[in-house]
Copies of this chain bind each other. A is one copy, B any other.
Amino acid sequence: MLNLDQLAAFVSVIDLGSFTAAAEKAGLTQPAVSLQVKLLEQRLGVRLIERVGRRAQPSPAGLELLEHARRILEGCATAEEAMAPYREGAIGRVRIGSGGTASIHLLPRAIAAAKKRMPGLEIIVRIGNTDDILRDIEANRLDLAVVTLPASGRSLEIEPFYHDELLAVAPKGSSMPTAGPDAEFMRDKTLMLYEGGNTRRATDNWFMAAGIRAEPAMEFGSVEAIKELVAAGIGWSILPSMAVNGGSSAVLTTSPVRPRLVRELGMAMRRDKHLTKGLREVIRCLREV
């Protein structure tokens, strides 16, 4: 393999016309530079510098190598410069996987905060179900997951960071028990439940605890669609508070259920994940939400 120090020494000698001068510039002694050039010549099997009289001039081969060498050295400089933004943290990429609800109502805030601190940060959000996302985390196709707990995986590290209460949601003006509706109360309603993995499981368990089996009239994969349906008076639902705490109070009536029902969101990463500046920033912003 060629050696960049040797190439640089060679170029410098030609440019300055002297081994001694090149040595001085490089902070070395003259014999060191002589040796570098000599080794390069040996390596290529070609005489590169004609030591004639006082000035060091390139041989024909040296002349041609000069062009190549300059290009190579310039390429190295360019490469080094290209790395600087990454070092400063001015550039980076964080790939986040998340369920649909969090993507809409929770991530944007965190992402906005992170972007404010690191404007060059590139953030990619992939929406999917928990299993797929965790698989991508394990395969390092994603850097960070935001999922509803519980979640497991031997190579994963999971950090709960947000409690989100599930609320009973009814059309505007519906009568709601003051202590909050319980399972008994809800069973008579036309129920539309969100067909998300852990969120749905939590809901089922809540009914189950009261000895009731949840029998939703409809199941939807989209919280937003359910909100529309409830607002239209089709029926009731139980939805994450983060999804209904926006401007929807004008068309929906919400209340905590009895006993209260909370789902926990967590961040998941590979245990051995290397924390880049950008990733660290995003995690910090998520914790602060």
Contact = CB atoms under 8 A, between A and B. Distances in A.
B76 A72 contact: yes
A39 interface: no
A65 interface: yes
A82 B60 contact: no
Interface stretch (A46-54, A172-180, A189-197, A200-208): A46-54
Nearest to A95: B60
Interface string A86-98: 1110111100000
Given A71-B75, A72-B75, A79-B72, A45 B2 contact: no
Interface string A21-61: 00000000000000000000000111100111101010111
Most chain B beta-carbon neighbours within 10 Å: one of A71, A80, A86, A90: A86
Copies held by the complex: 2
Given A68-B75, A72-B76, A272-B51, A87 B2 contact: no
Contacts of A274: 47, 50-51, 59
A60 B274 CA distance: 13
B4 A87 contact: no
A2 B80 CA distance: 8
Interface in A82-132: 82-83, 86-88, 90-93
A62 to B, nearest CB: 9
A86 B46 contact: yes
Contacts of A155: 53
A115 B273 CA distance: 48
A134 to B, nearest CB: 14
Contact of A52 (B53, B59, B79, B273): B273
A80 B44 contact: yes
- Is the interface on chain A under 10, 10 to 19, 20 to 34, or 35 or more residues? 35 or more
Nearest to A55: B140
Contacts of A55: 140
A252 interface: no
Given A3-B4, A272-B52, A79 B88 contact: no
Contact of A276 (B2, B59, B78): B59
A2 B2 contact: no
Contacts of A53: 138, 140, 155, 270, 272
A159 B191 CA distance: 75
A140 B46 contact: no
Contact of A87 (B44, B64, B92, B272): B44
A69 interface: yes
Contacts of A44: 80, 83, 87
Interface of A: 1-5, 8, 44-47, 50-53, 55, 57, 59-61, 64-65, 68-69, 71-72, 75-76, 78-80, 82-83, 86-88, 90-93, 138, 140, 155, 270, 272-274, 276
